[in-house]
Amino acid sequence: MPTRTGPQFYPGASQAYWYEDTFEATAMEVNVACLHTTEGTTVPTYADSQGRKGASAPNLTARPNFQQKKLEWFQHFRIDSSARALANRYGGVETNTLNVVQAELIGTCDPATHAKWTKAGVQHIYWPEAPAWALRDVAEFLAWLHSEHGVPLSGPVRWPAYPSSYANGAGQRMTGEQWSSFKGVCGHMHVPENDHGDPGAIDFPELLALAKAALGLPSTSQPNPPTTKPKYEPFPGATWFRKAPRSAIVTAMGKRLVAEGCSAYASGPGPQWTEADRKSYAKWQRKLGYTGAAADGWPGPASWAALKVPNV
């Protein structure tokens, strides 16, 4: 029986629409992330024909906040729990329960819908032309999945535009055998037994590049990475901080926290990690919108990338 390991809640995600207490979920160790688009402008109810809310819900939904230029996340199932947003035929290959965490991105991948909403003045994200801040926030989610759950930052080459992506119009959909062995990031349009074409021609290479940059990893588009130091300090890893390190990185982090008005320091900061660092970082997490256990003061890849600690 698979067990759930690692953090099960994405930092900062709301549980206002929580469905795991309503629908039974299978425990699994995720190694795949599947991106969907909602083809709407609000958080869906994900109701079925019987009116049961959450019956077709993913693990998370991301809603754009256009004023603050960020994505607001809502979590419906734990990370290592099977969600319900994929078609799963009886007697066929497993989809929802095959180690996949699913995220719905509010907006559209359909150029016709995009044109209609634009003409009507409806504010929305057309994901093939998503703004930089929206791609950044999706990339930070993927970076977190890679860091905390080992989901590979790789995926299919073909991300065709909708409507050619519907069914298997562009030859992008995996076979059952390919899906069973796949690990990485894909779209709804790649999953067998499904016909939906979302998220269409989202900029997948840019998503991977941003996710790798957030973790300080070399981009696959650069076979010979530059030898010069990056501008910002790469994320040292979640466990690094819990070992109470003594490092110039701690000092640089502390100075950035002070600059952001998140200081809980009586002296310093740095170079030794102390409880004051954790309390200061918790203030930073709350400033980013994290609440509850997500604002525990232990750095993660998304909040670290947002802090922009200069390379030491």
- For residue 77, is it within any domain? yes
CB neighbourhood size of 70 (10 A): 19
- Of 148, 180, 214, which residue is a domain's last? 214
Examine the domain organization and report whether 210 and 248 are in the same domain. no
- What one-character-per-residue DSSP string does 2-25 give? ----S--S-TT-B-TT--TTTS--
pLDDT tens digits, residue range 189-213?
A: 999 999 999 999 999 999 999 999 9
Residue 258 carries which side chain, given as an amino acid letter? V
Q: At residue 209, what are phi and psi to the nearest 5 degrees?
A: -65, -40
Examine the domain organization and report whether 256 and 142 are in the same domain. no
- For residue 84, is it within any domain? yes
- Of 159, 182, 214, which residue is a domain's last? 214
Examine the domain organization and report whether 146 and 249 are in the same domain. no
- For residue 16, is it within any domain? no
Q: CATH number of the domain that 199 lies in?
A: 3.40.80.10
Nearest CA-CA partner of 63 in 3, 106, 2, 30: 106
Residue 233 has pLDDT above 80, yes or no: yes
* pLDDT of amino acid 20: 97
Report how far residue 35's alpha carbon sits from residue 186's, in angstroms, rounded to the nearest whole number. 6
- For residue 200, is it within any domain? yes
Structure tokens at 53: 């809310």
Examine the domain organization and report whether 285 and 162 are in the same domain. no
Nearest CA-CA partner of 185 in 71, 14, 30: 30
* Domain count along the chain: 2
Examine the domain organization and report whether 192 and 258 are in the same domain. no
What is the pLDDT of the chain when averaged over all its residues? 92
Residue 82 has pLDDT above 60, yes or no: yes
Residue 221 has pLDDT above 60, yes or no: no
Domain containing 247 equals 238-307
Residue 288 has pLDDT above 60, yes or no: yes
Residue 116 has pLDDT above 50, yes or no: yes
- For residue 284, is it within any domain? yes
Examine the domain organization and report whether 167 and 254 are in the same domain. no
Examine the domain organization and report whether 155 and 299 are in the same domain. no
Report how far residue 121's alpha carbon sits from residue 207's, in angstroms, rounded to the nearest whole number. 28
* pLDDT of amino acid 227: 46
Region 72-90 average pLDDT: 95
Examine the domain organization and report whether 119 and 199 are in the same domain. yes
- For residue 109, is it within any domain? yes
Nearest CA-CA partner of 26 in 59, 52, 53, 49: 59
Examine the domain organization and report whether 97 and 169 are in the same domain. yes
* pLDDT of amino acid 225: 44
Examine the domain organization and report whether 137 and 273 are in the same domain. no
Element (H, E) at 186: strand 184-187
Residue 177 has pLDDT above 90, yes or no: yes
Q: Which of 35-39, 145-149, 286-290 has the lowest mean pLDDT?
A: 286-290
pLDDT tens digits, residue range 52-70?
A: 999 999 999 999 999 999 9
- For residue 259, is it within any domain? yes
Strand arrangement, sheet containing 32-37: 70-75, 60-65, 100-105, 32-37, 184-187
Examine the domain organization and report whether 180 and 303 are in the same domain. no
Examine the domain organization and report whether 47 and 157 are in the same domain. yes
